[in-house]
Amino acid sequence: MKYALCGGAYKGKNVIELLEKVAEHGFHGLEYLNWKSVPDVGELLKAQERLGVGISAVCTTFFNLVDGSLREQYLDGLRQTLDFCRISGTRSIITQTGPEMPGISREKHTSDMVETLKRCASLCEEAGVVLELEPLNGLVNHPGHFLQYSGESAGIIDRVDSPFIKLVFDVYHQQITEGNVIRNAVAYIDRINHFHIADNPGRKQPGTGELNYLNILKAIKDTGYDGFVGLECGYTIDTDEALDQFKRDIVRQVEQ
């Protein structure tokens, strides 16, 4: 498996300084979600070549898949993001689905999303970039978000039926929404392109809450998964110290 830092890991550092931290810790990528804040793509490319690591994931610019009337706005944002991905070599784009709309059936939300994602699939295939749906918990962080459950998410992926439309499985969100993290991660591994990890409660680094990340990551690794695991978390101690602990206490044992 490959490990990625997220852009918020070090407050105040720019994208190149963050990539330097990725390389320093022996990780494999940086999730830099707001790609529009990259000040100089040319300097980014030079840094990626020098360091041997790059941006592994970004977010698209507009997060509403459930409202069919906003389809063209969503596709325009995706096209812009794909242009950045082509230049930077980024191969994953994360998207949320938007809020549930009152008075609209769940099937209408879903069918509009599937139709938009089918349009997205052809754009992503041309660019060689995977678009990842991210279910979010509605209990703590994102009340009213439409897509929350991993099984429903996998069903939508199956309806779109494209290798360029997959899931990012956020362990923190799914622990809050439904639990059964290992069972669901393993069951839906063929639809998952990418994992996010943080502990619960608190959304801090692994080892600070109730989730046994040694067991979770071993189970994911045992499926043959070799993609990215992104640390989308805050830190209760100095970031460098927390990452050293994570590598020592979890990563080294998972990789044995």
Asked if 134 is an active-site residue, the reply is yes
- Determine which one of 31, 49, 134, 178 is catalytic: 134
Q: Which residues contact 99 (CB under 8 A, 6 or more apart)?
A: 66, 144, 145, 146
Catalogue all structural domains in the chain, each as residue range(s) with its CATH number: 2-254 (3.20.20.150)
Residue 20 bears catalytic tag: no
42, burial (CB in 10 Å: exposed 0-12, middle 13-18, buried 19+): exposed
Rounded to two decimals, the pTM is 0.97
| Mean pLDDT per 10-residue section of the chain, whose length is 256 residues | 97 97 98 96 98 98 97 98 98 97 97 98 98 98 98 98 98 98 98 98 98 98 98 98 98 94
| Predicted pLDDT at 173 | 98
pLDDT at 256 (0 to 100): 86
- Active-site residue, from 17, 43, 232, 255: 232
Measured between alpha carbons, how far is 75 from 55 in angstroms, rounded to an integer?
22
Give strand pairing partners of 145: 99
User: What's the confidence (pLDDT) of residue 48?
Assistant: 98
Query: Which tokens belong to 115?
Result: 């139709």
**Region at 202 (left for phi over 0; alpha for psi -120 to 50; beta for the rest):** left
